[in-house]
Amino acid sequence: MSDLISAIATAQGKGGVSIVRLSGEGALALAARMFSRKGEYVPNVLYPGTVDCGSFTDYGMCVYFRAPRSFTGEEVVEFHLHGGREIARGALERTFALGARLAAPGEFTRRAYLNGKLSLSAVEGMGEMIGAQSSAQVRAGYLLYTEKLTAEGKRLQETVKECLAGVEADVDFPEEDLSADTREEVAKKLASIGEELGRLLGQYRAGRKIRSGVNVALCGRPNAGKSSLLNALLGYDRAIVSETPGTTRDLVEGETEIHGVLFRITDTAGLREGTDAVEREGIRRAENAMRSADLIVYLKEDGDGIVLPEDTPVITVGAKCDLIRRDNCEIALSALTGEGIAALKERMYEEGFGAENEGAYLLEERHYEALREAMSAVSAAKRGAEGGLPAELYAEDLRRAYTALGTLSGETASEEIIDEIFSRFCVGK
């Protein structure tokens, strides 16, 4: 077992509870010296009692997890204290005085990984959950955390291994003339792996949106009602609403969740010929925002002459429908009465994210790159098998696919990748 590490596991500041966690050799012996309980410590049971924090005492609880049935896979002890910075710090320092050392960032999780409690993509999933900015991100992180991607990667690795076994037999015993059959079999299996990889890779667009949000630009002429619509979508007054055209000169942004997915909505300056330099700059920024948006909500007015970027999906809305009903708009809405706002949100979700993408969990660039590498290796091997190349030539591609897929669980990941992943965690995680 490793040496004894200790850290404050909860966010620091005032709170209901703070937790100091220890992992490694001697955790239980240390607990018996710091905590008032004198009898046996049954694993996974929270005992109430006093915690010796050096210059003061707190009344709290202590729990012991026996190796390997703990988060790290080692002997773990937690002290649950009152939630104050000084209390947690006192308890932490007491653990140092009794022989523990401060854990490095992510060291608890790293030990869990090294002890086979979590795969690398599960660790990343946990990171996604902790840093999540929307409930969709928590859901996707949870799927990673529960080894969904690792399981897929392992399954595909198994099939690659079967192909490799066939191919290697072919390399070793060419005189037995297995080649044509083996080649056909291998090509078939590789085609099905390719399809599965394609399906997984197809999630990435949605995964990126889960991670960083869907960018929506509101556009239309000055006074079309964009600021009012932004406020209605957000449910609070974010933008200034004014009868004077050209009031919104810079971009005003706000965030809202639709079915748990984060939408970043930008209220752009009204698109018209600017009358002064400041307004013209506002319009230039509006055009940039439109170009970089995933989705445009266009408040259409007759003859407004607005030209929208061609490749971006657009929802055309007829604003101020309490005053005027416009033709040729998908949704009639009123920021004043609230009519059409819910319908617009549904359309934004469908058009900007896509209901079919619920359950996507390919959100990390590292995972995407690994799958792309596997895809390119599998395609090369398939071409080799179909083209009747000597088996030893595409066996190398199969090994490359196997290695790429193994980086998902961490099995074949380099030390640098592993270090980089754990360095993202804070002390205590």
Distances (CA, A) of 348 to 135, 209, 217, 268, 404: 17, 13, 11, 17, 36
When the beta carbons of 21 and 249 are compared against ligand GDP, the nearer one is: 249
By CB under 6 A, the residues from 202 to 221 that bind ligand GDP are 220
In whole angstroms, give the CA distance from residue 365 to residue 227: 35
By CB under 6 A, the residues from 300 to 359 that bind ligand GDP are 319-320, 322-323, 334-336
When the beta carbons of 189 and 226 are compared against ligand GDP, the nearer one is: 226
CB neighbours (10 Å) of residue 155? Answer: 12
**Smallest gap from residue 269 Cβ to ligand GDP (A):** 8
In whole angstroms, give the CA distance from residue 332 to residue 316: 9
In whole angstroms, give the CA distance from residue 384 to residue 179: 12
Is residue 249 close enough to count as binding ligand GDP by CB under 6 A? no
Q: Where are the alpha helices (DSSP H) in 43-178?
A: 85-97, 107-114, 120-130, 135-145, 148-172
- Going by C-beta distance under 8 Å and a sequence separation of 6 or more, which residues neighbour residue 242? 227
When the beta carbons of 139 and 221 are compared against ligand GDP, the nearer one is: 221
Beta bridge partners of 52: 57
Of 220, 218, 242, the C-alpha closest to 303 is: 220
**Smallest gap from residue 356 Cβ to ligand GDP (A):** 32
* Identified binder of ligand GDP from the candidate list 24, 213, 225, 428, rule CB under 6 A: 225
Residue 407 is encoded by which pair of tokens? 């980086």
Segment near ligand GDP (CB under 6 A); pick from 68-76, 138-146, 226-234, 404-412: 226-234
**Smallest gap from residue 279 Cβ to ligand GDP (A):** 12
In whole angstroms, give the CA distance from residue 220 to residue 216: 13
**Smallest gap from residue 237 Cβ to ligand GDP (A):** 11
Is residue 226 close enough to count as binding ligand GDP by CB under 6 A? yes
* Identified binder of ligand GDP from the candidate list 248, 403, 407, 409, rule CB under 6 A: 248
Is residue 243 close enough to count as binding ligand GDP by CB under 6 A? yes
When the beta carbons of 157 and 248 are compared against ligand GDP, the nearer one is: 248
When the beta carbons of 180 and 323 are compared against ligand GDP, the nearer one is: 323
**Smallest gap from residue 257 Cβ to ligand GDP (A):** 22
In whole angstroms, give the CA distance from residue 250 to residue 288: 12
**Smallest gap from residue 10 Cβ to ligand GDP (A):** 43
* Identified binder of ligand GDP from the candidate list 24, 213, 254, 270, rule CB under 6 A: 270
When the beta carbons of 72 and 268 are compared against ligand GDP, the nearer one is: 268
In whole angstroms, give the CA distance from residue 245 to residue 270: 8
- Going by C-beta distance under 8 Å and a sequence separation of 6 or more, which residues neighbour residue 48? 59, 60, 61
When the beta carbons of 94 and 221 are compared against ligand GDP, the nearer one is: 221
Is residue 180 close enough to count as binding ligand GDP by CB under 6 A? no
DSSP run (H or E) holding 342? helix 341-352
**Smallest gap from residue 349 Cβ to ligand GDP (A):** 21
**Smallest gap from residue 192 Cβ to ligand GDP (A):** 52
**Smallest gap from residue 347 Cβ to ligand GDP (A):** 17
**Smallest gap from residue 111 Cβ to ligand GDP (A):** 54
In whole angstroms, give the CA distance from residue 291 to residue 293: 6
When the beta carbons of 55 and 244 are compared against ligand GDP, the nearer one is: 244
Q: Give CB contacts under 8 A, 24+ apart, made by 296-299.
A: 296/216, 296/217, 296/218, 296/219, 297/216, 297/217, 297/218, 297/219, 297/229, 297/344, 297/348, 298/219, 298/220, 299/218, 299/219, 299/220, 299/221, 299/224, 299/225, 299/226, 299/229
Segment near ligand GDP (CB under 6 A); pick from 24-32, 164-172, 236-244, 288-296: 236-244
* Identified binder of ligand GDP from the candidate list 87, 224, 233, 398, rule CB under 6 A: 224
When the beta carbons of 70 and 268 are compared against ligand GDP, the nearer one is: 268
In whole angstroms, give the CA distance from residue 13 to residue 91: 15
Where along the sequence are the contacts to ligand GDP (CB under 6 A)?
220, 222-228, 241-243, 247-248, 270, 319-320, 322-323, 334-336
